[in-house]
Amino acid sequence: MPNASKYYVANLLDSTVTIVDMNDHVVLKTINLIANYDSVSGAISGPVGALPIQTPMSPKGNSMVTANMLGETITIIDTRPDLSTMDTVVARLGCDPGCHGVQYGAKQGQVVNARDQNGTVIQDMAADGNAAVLQAAAAVAGRVDPLKSGRFRMRWLSVGRI
Protein backbone atom coordinates (compact mmCIF):
# COMPACT_ATOMS: atom_id res chain seq x y z
CA MET A 1 0.00 0.00 0.00
CA PRO A 2 1.18 3.58 -0.49
CA ASN A 3 1.44 3.93 3.31
CA ALA A 4 3.64 0.78 3.50
CA SER A 5 1.15 -1.08 5.73
CA LYS A 6 1.05 -4.04 3.33
CA TYR A 7 3.62 -5.43 0.92
CA TYR A 8 2.79 -7.48 -2.16
CA VAL A 9 5.69 -9.83 -2.90
CA ALA A 10 6.09 -11.64 -6.24
CA ASN A 11 7.21 -15.25 -5.84
CA LEU A 12 8.69 -15.95 -9.26
CA LEU A 13 9.19 -19.70 -9.21
CA ASP A 14 5.83 -20.74 -7.73
CA SER A 15 3.72 -18.14 -9.59
CA THR A 16 2.20 -16.59 -6.49
CA VAL A 17 1.97 -13.19 -4.83
CA THR A 18 2.26 -13.08 -1.03
CA ILE A 19 0.58 -10.28 0.90
CA VAL A 20 2.43 -9.29 4.08
CA ASP A 21 1.07 -7.09 6.88
CA MET A 22 4.02 -4.86 7.67
CA ASN A 23 2.62 -3.62 10.98
CA ASP A 24 2.34 -7.10 12.52
CA HIS A 25 4.92 -8.80 10.23
CA VAL A 26 2.62 -11.67 9.26
CA VAL A 27 1.59 -13.20 5.95
CA LEU A 28 -2.05 -12.32 5.28
CA LYS A 29 -2.59 -14.29 2.10
CA THR A 30 -0.84 -15.96 -0.81
CA ILE A 31 -2.52 -15.59 -4.20
CA ASN A 32 -1.98 -18.42 -6.67
CA LEU A 33 -1.71 -16.75 -10.08
CA ILE A 34 -2.18 -20.04 -11.94
CA ALA A 35 -5.27 -21.18 -9.99
CA ASN A 36 -7.47 -20.55 -13.05
CA TYR A 37 -5.30 -22.68 -15.32
CA ASP A 38 -5.96 -26.41 -15.83
CA SER A 39 -2.56 -27.93 -16.66
CA VAL A 40 -4.16 -31.10 -18.05
CA SER A 41 -6.64 -29.59 -20.52
CA GLY A 42 -5.01 -26.20 -20.95
CA ALA A 43 -8.32 -24.49 -20.15
CA ILE A 44 -8.23 -21.04 -18.59
CA SER A 45 -11.23 -20.08 -16.45
CA GLY A 46 -10.13 -16.63 -15.30
CA PRO A 47 -7.11 -14.33 -15.02
CA VAL A 48 -3.82 -16.26 -15.09
CA GLY A 49 -0.19 -15.31 -14.67
CA ALA A 50 3.01 -17.30 -14.40
CA LEU A 51 6.50 -16.26 -13.27
CA PRO A 52 5.47 -12.90 -11.76
CA ILE A 53 8.09 -10.22 -11.32
CA GLN A 54 7.81 -6.83 -9.57
CA THR A 55 4.67 -5.66 -7.78
CA PRO A 56 4.08 -1.90 -8.04
CA MET A 57 1.09 -0.38 -6.28
CA SER A 58 -1.10 2.24 -7.95
CA PRO A 59 -0.54 5.75 -6.60
CA LYS A 60 -3.96 5.76 -4.92
CA GLY A 61 -3.57 2.21 -3.58
CA ASN A 62 -6.51 0.80 -5.58
CA SER A 63 -4.62 -1.93 -7.40
CA MET A 64 -1.32 -3.74 -7.77
CA VAL A 65 0.08 -5.03 -11.06
CA THR A 66 2.65 -7.68 -11.79
CA ALA A 67 4.17 -8.65 -15.13
CA ASN A 68 4.22 -12.38 -15.77
CA MET A 69 7.28 -13.41 -17.74
CA LEU A 70 5.61 -16.67 -18.79
CA GLY A 71 2.21 -16.27 -20.31
CA GLU A 72 2.54 -12.80 -21.85
CA THR A 73 0.25 -11.18 -19.27
CA ILE A 74 0.07 -8.48 -16.64
CA THR A 75 -2.01 -9.49 -13.63
CA ILE A 76 -4.12 -6.89 -11.82
CA ILE A 77 -4.89 -7.42 -8.12
CA ASP A 78 -7.61 -5.29 -6.50
CA THR A 79 -6.27 -3.80 -3.26
CA ARG A 80 -9.24 -1.63 -2.28
CA PRO A 81 -10.14 -2.38 1.36
CA ASP A 82 -13.59 -3.52 2.47
CA LEU A 83 -14.58 -4.91 -0.94
CA SER A 84 -15.28 -8.53 -1.77
CA THR A 85 -12.57 -8.35 -4.44
CA MET A 86 -9.89 -7.07 -2.06
CA ASP A 87 -6.58 -8.90 -2.58
CA THR A 88 -7.88 -11.01 -5.46
CA VAL A 89 -6.89 -11.20 -9.11
CA VAL A 90 -9.47 -9.18 -11.01
CA ALA A 91 -8.06 -8.91 -14.52
CA ARG A 92 -5.17 -9.58 -16.84
CA LEU A 93 -3.74 -7.52 -19.65
CA GLY A 94 -1.73 -8.78 -22.57
CA CYS A 95 1.94 -7.88 -22.97
CA ASP A 96 4.94 -8.85 -25.06
CA PRO A 97 6.50 -12.29 -24.44
CA GLY A 98 8.82 -12.14 -21.44
CA CYS A 99 7.51 -8.76 -20.32
CA HIS A 100 8.75 -7.33 -17.05
CA GLY A 101 9.58 -3.93 -15.65
CA VAL A 102 5.91 -3.09 -15.15
CA GLN A 103 5.04 0.23 -13.48
CA TYR A 104 2.16 2.69 -13.28
CA GLY A 105 2.51 5.56 -15.77
CA ALA A 106 2.33 9.28 -15.17
CA LYS A 107 -1.27 9.41 -16.40
CA GLN A 108 -3.87 8.03 -13.99
CA GLY A 109 -4.94 4.57 -15.12
CA GLN A 110 -1.85 3.91 -17.23
CA VAL A 111 0.46 0.90 -16.96
CA VAL A 112 3.90 0.83 -18.59
CA ASN A 113 5.78 -2.42 -19.18
CA ALA A 114 8.99 -3.41 -20.90
CA ARG A 115 10.80 -6.46 -22.16
CA ASP A 116 14.54 -5.84 -21.77
CA GLN A 117 15.90 -3.49 -24.43
CA ASN A 118 13.33 -4.53 -27.04
CA GLY A 119 10.80 -1.80 -26.25
CA THR A 120 8.31 -0.31 -23.87
CA VAL A 121 4.52 -0.62 -24.09
CA ILE A 122 2.12 1.92 -22.58
CA GLN A 123 -1.40 0.66 -21.81
CA ASP A 124 -4.43 2.65 -20.74
CA MET A 125 -6.87 1.02 -18.32
CA ALA A 126 -9.71 2.00 -16.03
CA ALA A 127 -8.47 4.59 -13.57
CA ASP A 128 -10.76 3.55 -10.73
CA GLY A 129 -9.79 -0.13 -10.63
CA ASN A 130 -13.25 -1.38 -11.71
CA ALA A 131 -12.52 -4.93 -12.82
CA ALA A 132 -15.22 -5.14 -15.50
CA VAL A 133 -14.16 -1.84 -17.04
CA LEU A 134 -10.50 -2.67 -16.56
CA GLN A 135 -10.52 -5.79 -18.72
CA ALA A 136 -12.59 -4.19 -21.50
CA ALA A 137 -10.80 -0.84 -21.48
CA ALA A 138 -7.17 -1.96 -21.50
CA ALA A 139 -5.60 -0.94 -24.76
CA VAL A 140 -2.10 -0.28 -26.02
CA ALA A 141 -1.67 3.51 -26.16
CA GLY A 142 1.89 3.60 -27.46
CA ARG A 143 5.16 1.78 -27.89
CA VAL A 144 8.81 2.82 -27.75
CA ASP A 145 11.01 0.71 -30.03
CA PRO A 146 14.80 0.99 -30.22
CA LEU A 147 16.30 1.58 -33.64
CA LYS A 148 19.42 -0.17 -34.86
CA SER A 149 21.35 3.03 -34.20
CA GLY A 150 20.55 2.76 -30.50
CA ARG A 151 18.19 5.74 -30.55
CA PHE A 152 14.54 5.46 -29.67
CA ARG A 153 11.48 6.44 -31.62
CA MET A 154 7.97 6.81 -30.25
CA ARG A 155 5.01 5.30 -32.07
CA TRP A 156 1.62 6.36 -30.73
CA LEU A 157 -1.42 4.34 -31.63
CA SER A 158 -4.89 5.80 -31.72
CA VAL A 159 -7.02 4.24 -28.99
CA GLY A 160 -10.28 5.10 -27.24
CA ARG A 161 -9.98 6.62 -23.80
CA ILE A 162 -12.32 6.17 -20.85
Band the pLDDT of 14: cuts 50, 70, 90: very high
Band the pLDDT of 25: cuts 50, 70, 90: very high
Band the pLDDT of 15: cuts 50, 70, 90: very high
* The pLDDT of residue 62: 84
Q: Residue 94: give its domain's CATH number.
A: 2.130.10.10
Residue range(s) defining the domain that contains residue 116: 6-156
Residue range 122-143, pLDDT digits in tens: 665 554 445 444 444 555 555 5
* The pLDDT of residue 83: 85
Band the pLDDT of 112: cuts 50, 70, 90: low
* Structural domain contains residue 161: no
Backbone angles phi, psi at 44, to 5 degrees: -120, 120
Gap between the Cα atoms of 131 and 125, Å rounded: 10
* Structural domain contains residue 80: yes
Count of structural domains within the chain: 1
* Structural domain contains residue 1: no
Residue range 70-90, pLDDT digits in tens: 877 888 888 888 888 899 888
Gap between the Cα atoms of 132 and 89, Å rounded: 12
* Structural domain contains residue 139: yes
